Amino acid sequence: MRTAEIKRRFLAHFETHGHTVVPSAPLPAVDDPNLLFVAAGMVQFVPYFLGHRTPPYRTATSVQKCIRTPDIDEVGKTSRHGTFFQMNGNFSFGDYFKEGAIKLAWELSTTSPAEGGYGLDPERIWATVYLDDDEAYDLWLRTGVPVERIVRRGRSDNFWSMGIPGPAGPCSELYYDRGPGYGAPGGPEVDEDRYLEFWNLVFMQNEIADVASKEDFRIVGELPAKNIDTGMGLERMASILQGVDNLYEIDEVRPILARAAELTGKQYGARSGPAASQSHPDDVRLRVVADHVRTALMLIGDGVTPSNEGRGYVLRRIVRRAIRSMRLLGWHDTALPELLPVARDCMAPSYPELATDFDRIASSAYGEEETFLGTLRAGTTILDTAIAETKQAGRSALSGAQAFQLHDTYGFPIDLTLEIADEQGLDVDADGFRALMAEQRARAKADAKARKTGHADLSAYRAVLDGHGPTDWLAHETLETASKVLAIWAGGVPAGHAGAGDIVTVALDRTPFYAESGGQDSDAGMLTGSSLHAEVVDVQRPVEGLVAHTVRILDGGLAVGDTVHAAVDPDWRTGARQAHSGTHVVHAALRQVLGPTALQSGSYNRPGYLRLDFAWRGGLSDATRSEVEEAANLAIRRDLPVGVRHLPLEQARVEGALALFGETYDETVRVVEIGGDWSRELCGGTHVDRSAQIGSLALTSESSVGAGQRRVEAVTGIEAFRYLARERDLVGRLAAQLKARPADLPDRVTAMMARMKQVEREAHDLRDRIVDLDATDFATHAVDLGGTAYVGVTTTGDGRRLAEKVRDRLGNRPGVVGVIAGAGIVVTVTPAGLERGLSAADLIKHLLAGRGGGSAALAQGKATGDPAELLTRLRDLTSGS
């Protein structure tokens, strides 16, 4: 049974039993500050389990895309570890509980394929329950699972949580016995390769806090309602139903592995049996390639782009591990153009958008591979230099610090450092490298722990929402409202009133203020009353449906129950509307000029200013940038109508409305159109009525924000006028200073730069001739110290250059040259001097009490004290040598 069919049957089974089918949330966990990625099927339902939001359905089912990276080093080594996976889930929010969950799971697992089930043999299914969960134990007995196949297990195995404060509860896991070829008998406690877990039924009834580990936490109470959260690993079920050894061999992964094996000439699985948890290194690498290429496809598909931090860093590491594994397998050409299309064909039956969006995905992935190949070339050059210096210094190993710098600063893999060093006959201080890596991980863990504060206590906001209903949000209809103060919070704590000088958060029954979202900054304005003047400095939605205003009270006081006049600053809103509509215009202009793959991946706008990130490889030429700017301003000049429609999400997508990657949308969405289908996007922001109201638009910069990602910035309205006025004034001043017409400035500046370069070359040549003359003169007057020529001088120029030239002028004579330039001293020794046993490094260490360093031929350090005295001491040291 193909994986896509397993997914379809799961959703159909629960939909038949009254569950609402909920689409997968995007992989980036945009609504949870504790998570980079969605790591479990229940993540998007957490607010319902906690009672922060009221679920729109009593029961739900989904197939959630997930990413887990803590075990990334185990990928490929066992049948259980994968970076990207899909979690089939069914959820109950205060509806059915343990009995219903167990019944539904058993029916789907054991019903024959002809009747819509999976057809698993009931005699091969084992169940585990939490130690004291007698209810679940009895339910499995009544279902027909015999006592000998029901196992009680402790917290580490059968009490589920996300590893952070939040919802949790005992669970019951289902295992399938794959037979004696996979391991020893005795159940999952004996062998979890033979007995493969495929479904976890979590009985969500507790909230936990003070989480120190998977087993060390405090249960703080019961959740508002008993809930069900189950997760069936789609890949694990596929491996069972397709009769393959592990998740790397199912229909969505094996073709990628096979193509990698074909390219590298390796034969997968030739050296290990099906029960082996460890396999030949080539097999492990092929699995890593298959897993990581598929993971990269899914991450980029959901809008993640490679970068050096956060989600982008995880993607970058995954892509580079795949490329590195292909290199270790013997493939040194670009790999992703050969592998990514195979991954697309594997996953498109379940996710058709991967096929339609593939040009964008491929552009980002291929750009990252090119970047990494450049990193390998640069890193190899740096490593070659480090190896040469190590050998010259007579050491047998690269330091851990050098290996760590290559890894941490340049992204150069440690295993490649080890490989190249070994080829050159050198060791690497692996212990030193590991110590530095451990320090880095400790810092990262401490940082993560500092951020892992659990879900914020939103109960006070929720209480206001439950007591008064959602805020009557009128940002699209008006700039002013008469509003009632529902609540005040000071420092997050409810307060009855606030006075002059206080900064507090205020909830109103209705508001005209736009709350920050969709890349648009929040509105500014005032709350006023009979004696109140309060400045609104920020507007947010702490819980869905409630708008919270951060205000600074300038005069008077504010109390719960007061009626206030809420007014948005009209100039602020005008600028905000111009900037947000300008963002849509720039996006459409980019797609018009560059093509449909130039899709927005992020944006921010505030009055008069916008920035937009989009998928594109390589910088825009001046001509292209001007073309984009002109296309945007032509659209503004055409005075296109700006319209808003509310449509079902699927209809909006069919009509070509563009959505921001990584965002989640309700079933009914707001579609903003500029000129009909010229620009059609899902958007909740405030906009102008016609494009000419944007005024004018000027692109101010274009830059890179990561491999395959560019950023444009622009100004609109009065800010665009001011920007262009400043540019005009600057051109005018330059023209006046250069006594040229504005149109002639480029040629005039080019000519001046050419002349400056010529003058610099002439000055450089003159300095070279002067140094040559000085070097010859100094060498001619060298002091003979018992057969060793000595020169000691000071200079205001380049000390090292002069020292080397004097040394060269000494010819085949044994000699020592010391040059002091500013705060530094350089000591060189001629080749004949080296043969005599002279060493610049030894001389400078004696001269500077161990503070200098270098090679036997050239060493340098900080010149402290009187220069004449220092050179006299160097002469004495040379004479003594």
Final residue of a domain: which of 714, 729, 744? Answer: 729
- Rounded CA-CA distance 306/35 in Å is 18
- Whether residue 453 is predicted with pLDDT greater than 60 in this model: the reply is no
Residue 701 is assigned to a structural domain of this protein: yes
Beta bridge partners of 461: none
Confirm or deny that 17 is annotated as ligand binding: no
Residue 758 lies in a domain: no
497 belongs to an annotated ligand binding site: no
- Asked if 615 contacts 601 with a C-beta cutoff of 8 angstroms, the reply is yes
- 328-337, 613-622, 739-748, 760-769, range with greatest mean pLDDT: 328-337
In what order do the strands lie in the sheet containing 815-821?
A: 783-785, 788-795, 815-821, 824-829, 858-862, 853-854
Residue 276's pLDDT is what?
A: 43
Mean pLDDT along residues 762-773: 87
Q: Are residues 561 and 585 both part of a single domain?
A: no
Same domain, yes or no, for 205 and 285?
Answer: no
The Cα-based distances of 459 to 56, 206, 613 in angstroms read 19, 17, 36
What pairing do the DSSP bridges indicate for beta strands 697-706 and 600-606? unpaired
Task: Tell me whether residue 515 is in a domain.
Answer: yes
Return d(Cα 235, Cα 247) in angstroms, integer: 6
Q: The dihedral of CA 640, 646, 649, 655: what is its sign?
A: negative
Between CA 222 and CA 205 the distance in angstroms is 6
Distance CA 87, CA 236 (A): 10
Opening angle at CA 417, ends 416 and 420, nearest 5: 80
Give residues with Cβ within 8 angstroms of 846, minimum separation 6. Answer: 877
Q: Using CA atoms, how far apart are residues 72 and 57, in angstroms rounded to an integer?
A: 36
Question: Residue 580, annotated ligand binder?
Answer: yes
pLDDT band (50, 70, 90) for residue 219? confident
* pLDDT the model gives residue 277: 42
Q: What are the tens digits of pLDDT across the range 503-559?
A: 999 999 999 999 998 889 999 999 999 889 999 999 999 888 899 999 999 999 999
pLDDT at 383 over 60: yes
For residues 709 and 630, membership in a common domain is answered with: yes
Q: Are 704 and 619 in contact (CB under 8 A)?
A: yes
Average pLDDT of the chain is 88
Q: 792-795 long-range CB contacts below 8 Å, 24 or more apart? A: 792/817, 792/818, 792/819, 792/871, 792/872, 792/874, 792/875, 793/818, 793/819, 793/820, 793/871, 794/819, 794/820, 794/821, 794/867, 794/871, 795/819, 795/820, 795/821
Tally of CB atoms within 10 A around 770: 11
- Is 276 found in the same domain as 210? no
Condensed to tens digits (0 to 9), the pLDDT of residues 691-717 reads: 999 999 999 999 988 767 889 999 999
Q: At what angle do helices 98-110 and 3-16 cross, to 10 degrees?
A: 140
Q: Determine the Cα–Cα distance for residues 13 and 188; give it in Å rounded to an integer.
A: 27
CA distance 643 to 647: 13
Residue 498 sits at φ, ψ, to 5 deg, of -150, 155
Most confident option among 126-140, 298-312, 421-435: 126-140
End-to-end Cα spacing for the chain:
84
Looking up tokens 């001269």 gives 847
Q: Kindly state whether residues 794 and 863 are assigned to the same domain.
A: yes
Query: How is residue 352 written in tokens?
Result: 């058709």
Q: Residue 699: in which H helix or E strand, if any?
A: strand 697-706
pLDDT at 412 over 80: no
Cα–Cα dist 342/323, whole Å: 16
Q: Are residues 639 and 563 in the same domain?
A: no
Q: How far apart are CA 256 and CA 267, in angstroms?
A: 14
Predicted pLDDT at 451: 42
701 and 557 co-located in one domain: no
Please state the domain count of the chain: 5
322 and 241 in one domain?
no
Q: End of a domain among 332, 347, 373?
A: 373
Is 446 inside a domain boundary? no
Q: How confident is the model at residue 452 (pLDDT cuts 50, 70, 90)?
A: very low
- 0.85 surpassed by pTM: no
584 labeled binding residue: yes
pLDDT of residue 871 exceeding 70: yes
Farthest-apart Cα atoms in the chain, separation: 107
- C-alpha 376, offset from chain centre: 21
In which residue are the tokens 């008069």 written? Answer: 608
* pLDDT at 394 > cutoff 90: no
Instruction: Decide if 509 is inside a domain.
Output: yes
Residues 841, 715, single domain; the answer is: no
Q: Domain of 578: which CATH number? A: 3.30.980.10
Task: Report the range of poorest mean pLDDT among 8-12, 420-424, 725-729, 868-872.
Answer: 420-424
Find how far residue 614's CA is from the centre of its chain: 15
Residue 835 lies in a domain: yes
> Is 498 found in the same domain as 479?
yes
Q: Are residues 203 and 122 in the same domain?
A: yes
3-state secondary structure at position 136:
helix
One domain, residues 86 and 147? yes
Structural domain includes residue 430: no
**Structural domain containing residue 771:** 765-880
Q: Band of the pLDDT at 274, cuts 50, 70, 90?
A: very low
Of the residues 568, 595, 625, the one at which a domain ends: 568
- Residue 101, pLDDT above cutoff 90: yes
Asked whether residue 406 is assigned to any structural domain, the reply reads no
Q: Model confidence at 33, in pLDDT bands (50, 70, 90)?
A: low
